[in-house]
Chain A
């Protein structure tokens, strides 16, 4: 009787201690933990308009998505390009009128009135483009607040605990810094550049004109410096922290599989599966982020770029048939679009670099 009793006792204990065990979809579980659905809900309006719905599960066909983006951009490109061309045509007509006036007389008040007309005409386009740049920057920073934590969590779940944290902190610091820099420094400086440049042109003062040029160069170099420092910092910190992550993960796997003879190997394999799932998820989130950033930036790039090119061309044309001074005013005001384009370009490049950097966070095999 004794062995039977022992057997019954053993089986009862096994039944009591047995936990429910079932297969779990790793990616689905991770998606819930990381908050992918919240990210999908907080996509910028431009991304929703471009792609319809952008779910992580549907991101398998990238060429289709790019085609959707192309259709979106070509559909909306008509208005900004037409507005830029209209602006350029208006400037050429105004320059023609001024040149007509200058044929009859070289009176200084006519020249001053001409500069004033051109400046007033240009400022309307500048103001509309400044608001486009402002909206785009805010949209990029708001989206980065939703995207980067999610991407960072996915990268950390994929084993890049230290590097993801470092990169996330740097990205948020630089992007938030860029937004506040834009609102407090760059936009006032853009207006100051326009004011000083126009005052210099109206008064025919070479010092003011040079000061305007200096301000423009300073903003350009500031943007280049910020982007370079950010990229270098992200690369160097990524290399250092990535090595730490890779060695930590390798050591953990080795210890696990070596210390527990059979179960350790199974656990090590399971952890590899989990890491691979997290990496796939991380890449998907990164891709979703890149597609969204492209959708946000495409139309502002087109608007500012077309205005810049049209104003430069109009300036060159006005210099040839009208007056060098009038052409110079148009080209100088066109440079404002160049500064705004550089600002949006720097912010989007920073966001792109941080996404790619988090996507390339340590590969643990």
Chain B
């Protein structure tokens, strides 16, 4: 429980560190408006992957391996569903090519 509390505290304190990163990503997105439309699914994937990793690690620390596996599975599903528009566009492009 103490470990979990420490993780939450560190996360809470480090949220401010994310500001320049988010600003940089927004700049990247606005710098290339053509590919900017593809960045949103990518960022959602990233967010899902990071949250899943943290959640899974916390569960493992607590000895909840089954919960950790479920979180990883759900995280993968979320990442897949977030990148689905991108993958659909990619596969329809492959279909058009063939």
Which A residues have a C-beta under 8 Å from some C-beta of B?
89-90, 93-94, 96-98, 100-101, 104-105, 107, 109-110, 112-117, 119-121, 123-124, 191-192, 194-195, 198-199, 202
Known contacts A123-B93, A195-B97, A199-B94; A101/B45 CB under 8 A = yes
- Of the residues A96, A98, A112, contact of B87 by C-beta under 8 Å: A112
Q: Which residues of chain B from 8 to 44 have any CB-CB distance to chain A below 8 Å in the complex?
A: 25, 28-29, 31-32, 34-35, 38-39, 41-43
Instruction: Tell me the minimal C-beta distance from B5 to chain A in angstroms.
Output: 23
In the complex, how many residues of chain B place their beta carbon closer than 8 angstroms to a beta carbon of chain A? 30
- Of the residues B28, B38, B52, B83, contact of A112 by C-beta under 8 Å: B83
A358–B49 Cα distance when bound, in Å, is 67
| Contact call A117/B86, Cβ cutoff below 8 A | yes
A339–B12 Cα distance when bound, in Å, is 53
Chain B residues whose CB sits within 8 angstroms of the CB of A117 once the complex forms: 35, 38-39, 42, 86
Known contacts A117-B42, A120-B38; A109/B93 CB under 8 A = no
| Contact call A195/B35, Cβ cutoff below 8 A | no
Instruction: Tell me the minimal C-beta distance from A263 to chain B in angstroms.
Output: 72
Instruction: Tell me the minimal C-beta distance from A257 to chain B in angstroms.
Output: 68
Q: Which residues of chain B from 42 to 57 have any CB-CB distance to chain A below 8 Å in the complex?
A: 42-43, 45-46, 49-50, 52-53
Question: Does B98 lie at the interface of the complex (its beta carbon under 8 Å from any beta carbon of A)?
Answer: yes
Question: Does B89 lie at the interface of the complex (its beta carbon under 8 Å from any beta carbon of A)?
Answer: yes
Chain A residues whose CB sits within 8 angstroms of the CB of B86 once the complex forms: 113, 116-117, 120
Q: List 10 A-B contacts (CB under 8 A).
A: A90-B32, A101-B42, A101-B45, A105-B49, A107-B45, A110-B42, A116-B90, A123-B93, A191-B98, A192-B98
A338–B45 Cα distance when bound, in Å, is 34
Known contacts A93-B35, A199-B94; A116/B49 CB under 8 A = no
| Contact call A94/B80, Cβ cutoff below 8 A | no
| Contact call B32/A202, Cβ cutoff below 8 A | no
Known contacts A93-B28, A93-B35, A113-B42; A198/B50 CB under 8 A = no
| Contact call A195/B94, Cβ cutoff below 8 A | yes
| Contact call B45/A119, Cβ cutoff below 8 A | no
| Contact call B32/A110, Cβ cutoff below 8 A | no
Instruction: Tell me the minimal C-beta distance from A157 to chain B in angstroms.
Output: 50
| Contact call A113/B83, Cβ cutoff below 8 A | yes
Which chain A residue lies CB-closest to B88?
A: A116
| Contact call B93/A105, Cβ cutoff below 8 A | no
Chain A residues whose CB sits within 8 angstroms of the CB of B46 once the complex forms: 100-101, 104-105, 110
